[in-house]
Copies of this chain bind each other. A is one copy, B any other.
Amino acid sequence: MVESVAQPRPESRGERKERTRRAILDAALHLCENSSLVALSLRQVAKEVGIVPTAFYRHFESIEALGLALVDESFVSLRAMLRDIRRGDPSYADIVDRSVETLVEHVHRQRSHFLFIARERAAGPLSVREAIRREIELCEHELATDLARLTGTGSWSAEDLRVLSNLIVTAMVATAEQIMAAPDRPGAEKQIVENARTQLRMVLVGALNWHSRT
C-alpha cells in the first residue's frame, strides 16, 4: 500500500534551480508593487524567497539583471494579449469593444506584470527603461502592420500609420494604468473602460477622415 501514495518524483537539479529562479522573480514582482526596482534590495528578495542573500547571485548577477528578466517575462504576457486581440475576424465593427475587453481581462489576469512595466517604464534603471521602450516600439510596429492590412493600401502613408499606432498604444497604456490605479469601487472601472472605448472610436473617426500628405 505504501507505493500507492503520491510519489513526488524527486526533482532534478535543473528543476530545483528553475523553481528557485521562479520564486525570485515572483518575490521581486511582489515586492516591487508598491515601490520600484531601484528601491528593491537583494536582501529583501532573498528573505522573501527564503534563501540566504548570497544565493541570489547563483541566479542573477544584480537586481538590474533581474529586472531585465522581468521585462522579458512581462512582455510574454503582453504579447499573449495582443495575439488574443488579433485573433478573430479583424474587420468587424466591434473591433474596438473586443480589443478593450481583452485588454481589461489581461490586465487583471497579469496585474503584477502590467504594474511592473508601467512603473519601470518611467522609473527603472536605464537599461530596463530602454528594454521596455524597445518592446513597446515593437508593439507599435506590429499594430501599424495590422492597421495597414485593415486599411488596404489606401490614402495612408507608412509614416502616418506609425504615428497613429503610437497614439493608440499610448492611449491603451494609459487605460491600463488607470485600471490598475482604480479604487475597488466597481463603478470606477466601468467608467474607465467606457472612456477607453470612446477614445478609440474618436481616434478611429479621425483615422477614417484622414488623408496623408503625399
Question: Number of A residues contacting the other chain (C-beta, 8 Å)?
Answer: 36
- Contacts of A119 on B, CB cut-off 8 Å? 122-123
- Contact among B122, B126, B206 for A202, CB-based, below 8 A: B206
Interface string of A190-205 (1 = CB under 8 A from B): 0000010011001111
In the assembled complex, which residues on chain B have CB atoms less than 8 Å from the CB atom of A203?
167, 202-203, 206
Kindly state whether residue A214 has any CB partner on chain B within 8 Å. no
A163 touches B198 (CB 8 A): yes
When chains A and B are docked, how far (Å) is the Cα of A129 from the Cα of B174?
14
A143 to B: closest C-beta gap in Å: 14
**A207 in the interface (beta carbon within 8 A):** yes
C-alpha spacing A35/B203, complex, angstroms: 34
Closest chain-B Cβ to A175's Cβ sits at a distance in Å of 9
Q: Out of B36, B38, B202, B207, which one reaches A207, CB within 8 Å? A: B202
A203 to B209, CA, bound (A): 11
- Residues A163-200 near B (CB distance < 8 A): 163-164, 166-167, 170-171, 174, 177, 181, 195, 198-199
The residue on B at minimum CB distance from A213 is B198
> A184 to B84, alpha carbons, bound, how many Å?
38
Q: Restricting to A34-54, which residues have a CB under 8 Å from any CB of B?
A: 34-36, 38-39
Q: Mark each residue of chain A from 17 to 59: 1 if its CB lies under 8 Å from any CB of chain B, else 0.
A: 0000000000000000011101100000000000000000000
Residues of A within 8 A of B (CB): 34-36, 38-39, 118-123, 126, 129, 133, 160, 163-164, 166-167, 170-171, 174, 177, 181, 195, 198-199, 202-210
Can you list 9 A-B pairs with a CB-CB distance of less than 8 A? A35-B38, A35-B123, A36-B39, A38-B39, A119-B123, A164-B202, A166-B195, A206-B206, A206-B209
Taking A121-B122, A174-B174 as known contacts, 7 extra A-B pairs with beta carbons closer than 8 A to each other, sorted by chain A number, are A34-B126, A36-B36, A36-B123, A166-B199, A202-B207, A206-B206, A206-B207
